[in-house]
Structure 1
Amino acid sequence: MMGPGEFQAFMRVYFPTFLLGFFTCLMSVALSLVVWIDEHWLHHPDNATYTLLFSTALTIPLCLGHFAMVRGWRWAMWAVLPVPAVTLLIALSLFGSGLPALLLAIMLALPLLALLVFNSQRHREMRRRLVELRQQR
């Protein structure tokens, strides 16, 4: 087990990376789904319902995957990685729809940044260390 000083050092090194990966995915889900649903079903009476359902469908695996990652499960990344991939595909499907180029660029940059963070050396080290901590327990 980790001592208090070791835990603080662990959090200081890896917590910002963990949060960056989580929040870039979360922002990507929020932005891409709202824009996509408003682009395709703007005047539909169930617009808000679709937004809520699709957001929930992508947010639940994201949150469960991050929770499993913190608990040290090796499979957790495979629950998280489809979320930025889906939002990237949603953003790509909006090309040619007349949306501002800056909005499309942000919608593409967020999931790509999330995938970059998950593939970074620091995130890999964090996941490896969390798996080791799980095995120690």
Structure 2
Amino acid sequence: MSGVPSLKPFLLEHFPAFIGVILAGCLGGSAAISLAASTYFSDVPMATNATVSWFVVIAAALFVANSNFLVVRGRAWAVWAMVAFFTVCLLVVLPTLLYRPHWFIYGESLFWPLLGLLLINSKGYRSMVKKLVEVRRLREAAKAGL
């Protein structure tokens, strides 16, 4: 990349995969938390269950937002945080089959993390991360030159 990269072509090419990972993280995390709350913790009083689930959803949303912010800032290692998040979502959801949840809720809870992992593994997302790392290096080089 020589000179200042143009933002519009970059966004047109990479924005769908990037926002798809964020949406899959939000939807997959909330689905996993909801399914876990209604199966593993069904004996807990509803008010306590709802309060704890709300705090866990907020923590998961902050984690997803922070990880994707680090990816935008050119930190390629933050992609592994999202991979770990989707893996944890899958590991939470898979055993709930023993509780016989509704088939649609169970399928949706599996779909979003798998979609997120698929998007992270796509060629477009990988090239986006490479370009963002390159932009970070250019930014650091320009800062060091000043």
TM, length-normalised to structure 1: 0.90
Alignment gaps of 5+ in structure 2 = 140-146
Q: Distance in 1 between matches of 2:83 and 2:62?
A: 13
Partner of 2:97: 95
1:59-115 per-residue CA deviation (whole Å, 9 max, x = no partner) reads 222111100000111221122221111111111021121212222111111101100
Moved more, 125-134 or 46-55: 46-55
Paired residues of 1:37 and 1:50 also in contact (CA < 8 A): no
CA distance in 2, matches of 1:84, 1:69: 16
Do the aligned residues in 1 keep the contact of 2:40 with 2:96 (CA within 8 Å)?
A: no
CA distance in structure 2 between the partners assigned to 1:88 and 1:121 by the alignment: 23
Q: Which residue of structure 2 aligns with residue 28 of structure 1?
A: 28
Moved over 3 A (4+): none
Q: Tell whether the 8 Å contact from 2:67 to 2:82 is kept in structure 1 after alignment.
A: yes
Identity %: 26
RMSD: 1.5
**What are the residue-to-residue correspondences of 1:1-137 with 2, within 5 Å?**
2=4, 6-42=6-42, 43-44=44-45, 45-137=47-139
| TM-score for both structures, normalised by structure 2 | 0.85
Q: Read off the aligned partner of 2:38 and give its amino acid letter.
A: D
**Bigger radius of gyration, 1 or 2?**
2
- Is contact 2:24-2:115 (8 Å) kept? yes
